[in-house]
Amino acid sequence: MTEILKFFIGLTVLTGALLSLVTAFGLIRLPDVYTRNHAASKSATLGVMLVLLGTLLYAYQDTGSFHSRLLLGIAFIFMTSPVAGHLISRAAYNSGVKLWGNSVRDDLAKHRKK
């Protein structure tokens, strides 16, 4: 039981760290605000949630104490981080930041013209 739990803890923490790295690469490599926001708000949320889950399980198997604050933190990040991404993206669109040159669809602009 403990060994399986240890393996699972390592897996979640390492996957979370890898997803955070993917976020950083996405922020560097992607061309415009919206695609960068897509990378940042999705993979960073899941990465941080996985690291927090690993921490929760580690504290449980190490000392037997269940830290409900970490569970609350997971739920809180899951609720707020995509909304923060949405607000940044909408603020960028409303202040007239252009899409990437090769983009083919902008439904919101068509809808606003009506």
Partner 1 sequence: MKTNDIILQTVTKITLFVIILFSIYLFFTGHYHPGGGFIGGLMASGAIVLLLLAYDIEMVKAILPVDYRKMIGIGLLFSAGTGAGALLAGKPFLTHAYTYANLPILGKTSLHTAVLFDTGVFLVVIGVTMTIIQTIGESD
The residue ranges that bind partner 1 (CB under 8 A) are 69, 72, 75-76, 79-80, 83, 86-87, 90, 94, 112
Distance, in Å, from the CA atom of 112 to the CA atom of 67, rounded to the nearest integer, reads: 47
Q: How far is the CB of 109 from partner 1 (least distance, A)?
A: 11
Nearer of residues 2 and 95 to partner 1, judged by Cβ: 95
Q: How far is the CB of 7 from partner 1 (least distance, A)?
A: 31
Nearer of residues 79 and 97 to partner 1, judged by Cβ: 79
Q: Angle at CA 23, nearest 5°, toward 80 and 74?
A: 35
Q: How far is the CB of 74 from partner 1 (least distance, A)?
A: 12
